[in-house]
Structure 1
Amino acid sequence: MNEGVEWATHTCLNLAWLGDERAVPAARLAAFYELPAAYLNKQLQALARAGILTSVSGPRGGFRLAKAPDQVTLMDVVTAIDGPDPAFRCTEIRLRGGSSSGTTRYRTPCAIDTAMRKAELAWRRELAAQTLADVMTTVEATNPGVPDKVRRWFDDTH
């Protein structure tokens, strides 16, 4: 996973705490974490293409959540940023060089590929089972002041 997943997820949480009544410019969202605005904007555009965010143009434009936090899974965010491709790709190196022993084909699937796919499936299922609302609940239980801190920061005219 690239760091854009972390940035996108935190930004989605902030937008959820701000509510859906206003859009926030990418530069303002980036400033909250002191991130490069151009790079965060690419992540926000990917989230908008995936239907997670809505992009609003104009002088009061920016981004806001397109769906309720309980309708956005962590897997949705990961897929929007990193794409749907598997994390591991078996290239069948066992068919190359000295390891092939002249064999052109194995009778069983690659054990490494099988193990990696099994692990990735578990990972994807876990992320698909957790929503932004679930993460918000955890943050609010462990750090109850965070939502108000976020709202105050974005309400302040920096």
Structure 2
Amino acid sequence: MKLSQGVEWGLHCTALVAQAPDGIAVSRRLLSEHYGLPEAYLAKHLQALVRAGVLTATPGPRGGFRLARPDEQITALEILEAIEGTAPAFLCQEIRQRGTGAVPPEDCTRPCGVSVVMAKADEAWRGSLASVTVADLVALVPSHTRKRNRARLTGEPTGDR
């Protein structure tokens, strides 16, 4: 399975927005510069996160993005689904009913074994992502990096060259 780069961008950007002090909106420009991403393309992903209720957007010169809910209430699965959609990763094409080895339709009243295995794997994967919150992602960021990020988000000097 290959996910679009938008999933990585969405997870990182949401975690960065979560590091902003209360009341601070993080601009699209700051997000794109922080990660070296093309602003116009990032905008599409940020809007998907807004539509999904992960982020809120405020227009204007002091506008930007904030979390729509507390970071412990937003999951990695919500971000993935905002970017990629909710369709399962695997779609059975029922090839067991094709070709020279075709199984008759009356013998295909249940999903095939491949479909069952892939559905269970998809469920486990989504369950794992649903158990990880944005707060968990932020906690994985080293404390010195969180401190630097917070300074950048508030416009304070960071000590960077």
Same fold (TM over 0.5): yes
For structure 1, which runs of at least 5 residues remain unmatched after alignment?
none
**Does the 8 A contact of 2:19 with 2:149 survive in 1?**
yes
1:116 is matched with which residue?
118
1:74 is matched with which residue?
76
1:50 is matched with which residue?
52
Deviations 1:35-91 (A, max 9, x none): 111111111101101111011011211111111110101111111111111110001
Residue 44 of structure 2 aligns with an amino acid whose one-letter code is K
1:84 is matched with which residue?
86
User: For the residues of structure 2 that align with 1:153 and 1:4, how far apart are their CA atoms?
Assistant: 23
Residue 151 of structure 1 aligns with an amino acid whose one-letter code is R
Q: How far has the Cα of 1:9 moved from its partner? A: 0.7
- Select the structure that is richer in helix: 1
**Does the 8 A contact of 2:21 with 2:150 survive in 1?**
no
Question: TM-score, normalised to structure 2's length?
Answer: 0.88
1:14 is matched with which residue?
16
Task: Show the 5 A alignment for 1:131-146.
Answer: 131-139=133-141, 143-146=142-145
Q: 2:132 aligns with which of 130, 143, 146?
A: 130
User: For the residues of structure 2 that align with 1:119 and 1:149, how far apart are their CA atoms?
Assistant: 38
Deviations 1:102-143 (A, max 9, x none): x2343442111111000010111111111111122232xxx2
Residue 131 of structure 2 aligns with an amino acid whose one-letter code is A
1:106 is matched with which residue?
107
User: Alignment partner of 2:100: what SS?
Assistant: helix
Q: How far has the Cα of 1:24 moved from its partner? A: 1.9
User: For the residues of structure 2 that align with 1:67 and 1:34, how far apart are their CA atoms?
Assistant: 26
User: For the residues of structure 2 that align with 1:118 and 1:24, how far apart are their CA atoms?
Assistant: 38
For structure 2, which runs of at least 5 residues remain unmatched after alignment?
none
User: For the residues of structure 1 that align with 2:66 and 2:21, how far apart are their CA atoms?
Assistant: 8
